[in-house]
Amino acid sequence: MATITESTQSDHGGSAEDTRVFRWRAEQFGKLGFSEEMSWMLAGSSAELGVSRSLVQAGCPLDLVARIVL
């Protein structure tokens, strides 16, 4: 069974640079406190990382942040 990381990466495709950006975004969302699964989901979406950071710093619960930025 593939891990979330492996399946998301294989589904993502794209260039090596796209993959690096995708991984970096997932890492950044993880540092905000999101689960691995949610971090990869957010990384693959158009969710604004800066908006997410601001909301988390303002004390917004992670589940609400995810709903706002997705």
pLDDT at 54: 99
* Burial of residue 46, with CB atoms counted within 10 A of its CB: 0-12 exposed, 13-18 middle, 19 or more buried: exposed
Whether this prediction's pTM lies above 0.85 is answered by no
1-14 residue pLDDT tens:
444 554 454 555 67
Contact 70, 47 (CB under 8 A): yes
pLDDT at 2: 42
Give the mean pLDDT per block of 10 residues along the chain (70 residues): 48 82 98 98 98 99 98
Measured between alpha carbons, how far is 20 from 70 in angstroms, rounded to an integer? 21
pLDDT at 4: 54
Can you give the residue ranges of every domain in the chain? 4-69
